[in-house]
Amino acid sequence: MSYVIITGSNGLIGSEAARFFSEKGFSIIGIDNDMRSYFFGKEASTLGNREKLLKELNDYQHFDFDIRHLDKLKEIFLKFNEEIKLVIHTAAQPSHDWAVREPLTDFTINANGTLNLLELTREYCPEAVFIFTSTNKVYGDLPNLLPLVEKDERWEVDPSHSFAQYGIDESMSIDKSKHSLFGASKVAADILVQEYGRYFGLKTGIFRGGCLTGPAHCGAELHGFLAYLIKCAITKKPYTIFGYKGKQVRDNIHSNDLIKAFWYFFQAPRCGEVYNMGGSRYSNVSILEAIRLIKEISGHEVNLSFSDQARIGDHIWYISDVRKFQNHYPEWKYNYNITRIIEEMLKAAEESS
């Protein structure tokens, strides 16, 4: 029997991974204690996703464990041992705004929790592939120092800059920048996963995500901008844009496209490799552009307000250069552009409202 451990199994990426790898013939070990509802309130709870997985997947086992608790995690690794072929670590405190409220909670989940999983993988299933969902926030606010040009609906990078055509690649430094406490805790985890690959030889892959999204995203004001924006459009709830005139740009990658990238890495892993992974130039949008697309597609208008105060560590413009991953895994391709993503998310939100 081949098992996949998925932390954060009821979240956007975790639930997508559970379904995908179940279809590939793996048995799924899901770990998720619904901390998202603690972070962002009941409306962000992932319990609904858990119930769907338990109903849909016959080979899904759920553990309501906290990744900070080493002894509880050890029970799982002891039980399944070398039958564990893959660990997909998506569990996290995901908001730089929220991290300021409880820095110890943020760091122990993001950094210590990751260390627990790495060490247990090294001890009990060292041949397993370990995939970590990192974040573009490891670069701090350095992207804001790029030569930016203001356009009607978005910020762009000056065409003369090397990042203008394809986006930001892995050569960008993670030093000498303001990360936010969330960014700092994810940097710690990111480096740990690299080190367990390079020092111990574990098959670890680090995916520094742009905006990961899809219809299973339980969006909240502090995390999941596109999902929350669509929720506000459907429910007529007020939406506040923080800073940069709403022209800040994000590349959005559908959860299914990301999981397929994980699949290719699993089949031919590289120890300690780092990839920027997002929608790239193929799928990106500013907040203002997203609001316009929502109206064009569905007719729903967003009840907008603006704040001049930008979020600490927020990026003005971020688009991932994914060519490194594409060069290593040339069979991987996108299935979802930004229009298709928004259409699918609108349909799901309307059906659930």
pLDDT of residue 222: 64
Strand partners, 284: 251
Burial of 351 (0-12, 13-18, 19+ CB in 10 A): exposed
- CA 90 to chain CA centroid, Å, is 7
Q: What's the pLDDT at 115?
A: 98
In the 8-state DSSP scheme, what is residue 313? T
What sign does the CA torsion over 167, 296, 336, 132 have?
positive
Tell me the β-bridge partners of 206.
Answer: 132, 274
Residues of the chain with confidence (pLDDT) below 50? none
pTM for the full model?
0.96
Helices (H), the chain: 12-23, 35-40, 47-56, 70-80, 96-99, 103-107, 113-124, 180-198, 225-235, 255-267, 287-298, 323-328, 338-352
What pLDDT was estimated at residue 33?
A: 97
Length of the chain as a residue count: 353
Q: Which fold has domain 3-352?
A: Rossmann fold (3.40.50)
Per-residue buried b or exposed e for 225-236, using 16+ beta carbons within 10 Å of the residue's own CB: bbbbbbbbbbee
pLDDT in tens, 262-298: 999 999 999 999 999 999 999 999 999 999 999 999 9
In this structure, what token pair is assigned to residue 36? Answer: 């998202």
Residue ranges covered by each domain of the chain: 3-352
